[in-house]
């Protein structure tokens, strides 16, 4: 029921470094990162000057980001040299480390594609549910100084907040007859991955396209289906990728509910007014420039220099060193820890292939505005 409950078990340590210490720093075309950062600047502009940035205010105050945002707005589109100059002038880099050291886990995600209908018929039987009106969220930062980004999700019963219905209870009808169905999809596995990723692109049978964005969750503890399958001995080590999971469900369609119900968490959606994946910061995500982080440690809007291994397109099982500057613009139920990131790859078939196969050790360096660093 408590989102981010695992965060206090880790701790973030930041060590100042020089830009020259960032591996591969001069190899990235940073112009794309500027465009992504400006989307976060638009959200920062909505905050009062004294508003804290990030959980517990660890990203400083909104006013301390203003100068960097103004400088980014002056960078000409497609000018990598000017982009690099701006980042080096406005930010200070720090290597991030958790209790286990600077090496953490970096994975990838993408926008899942759904085939759906606004009416239930034929193969379109699995409902995509909107947020119930009795689902409540409590941000503990309103009550605790050391909330570490934790939130509680549930529903009120006799004046008390109680856990919300589990995935199994929802599937069996706990929310039936409440008019929550946004549409119906032809494959429950597709919907499961959309809930894992937190957004989706729905191609409807009437020829239209609808973008779905995160609208809430039941707050139950997330348990990855890949881990469930591996724990049950159904998948071997290395097979817990999106592709491996899909293949197993394809071969065992009658086992879907029994496996999926072991993950009690459930995500609700709304139809977005914007085309594109929407992150937790309420910005449109940028492929290979946006990243989901644990907001208990990393503030939304933070530029992050990443070093990891990424899949090589067209070469199964082959990876290559990957260095890029990304912006923290999203979160995820399974993204917990001081050095834990989930890289957004996009919304096409190539993104699904790469995002679904990515996962392994990595490091990152956070860039903080000089006002925050001081």
In this predicted structure, the answer to whether residue 6 has a pLDDT above a threshold of 50 is: no
Flag whether 364 is in a domain: yes
Q: Which residues have C-beta within 8 Å of that of residue 34, sequence separation ≥ 6?
A: 72, 75, 83, 86
| Domain range enclosing 355 | 2-109+279-373
Residue 2 has pLDDT above 70, yes or no: no
In percent, how much of the chain has pLDDT > 70? 96
- Binned at pLDDT 50, 70 and 90, residue 371 comes out as confident
Q: Round to whole Å and give the CA distance between 201 and 210.
A: 6
Residues sharing a CB contact under 8 Å with residue 292, sequence separation 6 or more, in sequence order: 109, 279, 280, 328, 329, 330, 331, 332, 335, 341, 342, 344
Please count the other Cβ atoms lying within 10 Å of the Cβ belonging to residue 215. 18
Share of the chain above pLDDT 90, in %: 78
| C-alpha span between 174 and 325 (Å, rounded) | 44
CATH number of the domain enclosing 131: 2.40.240.50
The CATH number for 334's domain is 2.40.40.10
Residue 188 in tokens: 């429950």
User: Where residue 47 falls among pLDDT bands split at 50, 70, 90?
Assistant: very high
Q: Confirm whether 136 is domain-assigned.
A: yes
Q: Is residue 239 pLDDT above 90, yes or no?
A: no
138 & 267 share domain? yes
Instruction: For residue 128, tell me if it sits in a domain.
Output: yes
pLDDT band at 163 (very low <50, low <70, confident <90, very high): very high
pLDDT exceeds 80 at position 185 = yes
Question: Do 217 and 148 belong to one domain?
Answer: yes
Report the DSSP beta bridge partners of residue 288: none
Domain boundary among 241, 271, 301: 271
Check whether 78 has a pLDDT greater than 60.
yes
**pLDDT at 259 > cutoff 70:** yes
State mean pLDDT over 167-178. 97
Label residue 148 by pLDDT band (50, 70, 90): low
Residues 151 and 267 in one domain: yes
In a domain, 252, yes or no: no
Is 369 domain-assigned? yes
Long-range contacts of 322-325 (CB under 8 A, 24+ apart): 323/23, 323/24, 323/25, 323/27, 323/28, 324/28, 324/33, 324/288, 324/289, 325/28, 325/30, 325/33, 325/87, 325/289, 325/367
Q: Do 164 and 70 share a structural domain?
A: no
Number of domains in the chain: 2
CA–CA separation, 171 and 126 (whole Å):
9
Query: For 307-318, what is the mean pLDDT?
Result: 88
Quote the pLDDT of residue 332.
85
- pTM of the entire predicted model: 0.85
Average pLDDT over residues 230-255: 90
What is the band of 5 on the pLDDT scale with cuts at 50, 70, 90? very low
Among 5-19, 110-124, 158-172, 302-316, the minimum mean pLDDT is found in 5-19
Pair 17, 83 in one domain: yes
> How many CB atoms neighbour CB 46 within 10 A?
9
Compute the average pLDDT of residues 163-169: 98
Q: What is the pLDDT of residue 348?
A: 85
What would the 3-class secondary structure string for the chain be? CEECCCHHHCCCEEEECCHHHCCCHHHCCCHHHHHHHHHHHHHHCCCCCCCECCHHHCCCEHHHHHHHHHHHHCCCCCCHHHHHHHHHHHEEEEEEEECCECCEEEEEECCEEEEEECCCECCECEEEEECCCCCEEEEHHHCCCCCCCCEEEEEEECCEEECCCCHHHHHCCCCCCCCCEEEEECCHHHHHHHHHHCEEEEEECCCCEEEEEEEEECCCCCCCHHHHHHHCCCCCCCCCCHHHHHHHHHHCHHHHHHHHCCCCCCEEEEECCCCCCECCCCCECCCCCEEEECCCCCCCCCEEEEEEEEECCCCCCCEEEEEEEEEEEECCCCCCCCCEEEEECCCCHHHHHHHHHCEEEEEEEEEEEHHHHC
Same domain, 102 and 119: no
Q: Are residues 155 and 90 in the same domain?
A: no
How far is it, in rounded angstroms, from Cα 90 to Cα 34?
12
């Amino acid at each position: 029921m408590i989102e981010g409950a695992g965060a206090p078990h880790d701790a973030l340590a930041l060590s100042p470094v020089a830009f020259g210490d960032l591996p591969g720093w001069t190899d990235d075309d940073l112009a794309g990162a500027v465009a992504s950062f400006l989307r976060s600047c638009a959200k920062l502009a909505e905050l009062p000057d004294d508003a804290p940035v990030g959980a517990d205010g660890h990203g400083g105050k909104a006013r301390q980001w203003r100068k960097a945002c103004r400088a980014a707005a002056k960078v000409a589109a497609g000018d990598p040299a000017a982009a690099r100059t701006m980042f080096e002038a406005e930010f200070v880099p720090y290597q991030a480390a958790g209790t286990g050291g600077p090496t953490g886990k970096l994975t990838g995600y993408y926008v899942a594609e759904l085939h759906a209908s606004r009416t239930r018929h034929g193969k379109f039987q699995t409902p995509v549910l909107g947020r119930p009106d009795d689902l409540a969220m409590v941000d503990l930062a309103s009550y605790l100084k050391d909330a570490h980004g934790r939130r509680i999700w549930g529903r009120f019963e006799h004046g008390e907040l109680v856990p919300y219905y589990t995935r199994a209870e929802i599937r069996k009808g706990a929310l039936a007859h409440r008019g929550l169905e946004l549409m119906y999809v032809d494959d429950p596995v597709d919907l499961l991955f959309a809930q894992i990723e937190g957004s989706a692109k729905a191609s409807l049978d009437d020829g239209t396209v609808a973008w779905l964005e995160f609208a809430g969750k039941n707050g139950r503890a997330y348990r990855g289906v890949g881990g469930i399958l591996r724990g049950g001995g159904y998948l071997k080590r290395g097979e817990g990728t999106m592709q491996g999971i899909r293949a197993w469900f394809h071969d065992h369609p009658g086992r879907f509910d029994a496996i999926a119900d072991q993950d009690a968490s459930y995500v609700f959606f709304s139809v977005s007014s914007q085309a594109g994946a929407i992150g937790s910061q309420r910005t449109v995500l940028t492929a290979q420039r946006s990243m989901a982080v644990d907001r208990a440690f990393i503030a939304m809007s933070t530029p992050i220099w990443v070093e990891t291994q990424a899949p090589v397109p067209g070469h199964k099982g082959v990876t290559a060193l990957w260095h890029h500057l990304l912006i923290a613009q999203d979160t995820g139920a399974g993204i917990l820890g001081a050095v834990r990131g989930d890289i957004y790859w996009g919304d096409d078939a190539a993104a699904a292939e790469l995002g679904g196969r990515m996962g392994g050790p990595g490091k990152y360096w956070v860039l903080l505005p000089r006002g925050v660093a001081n």
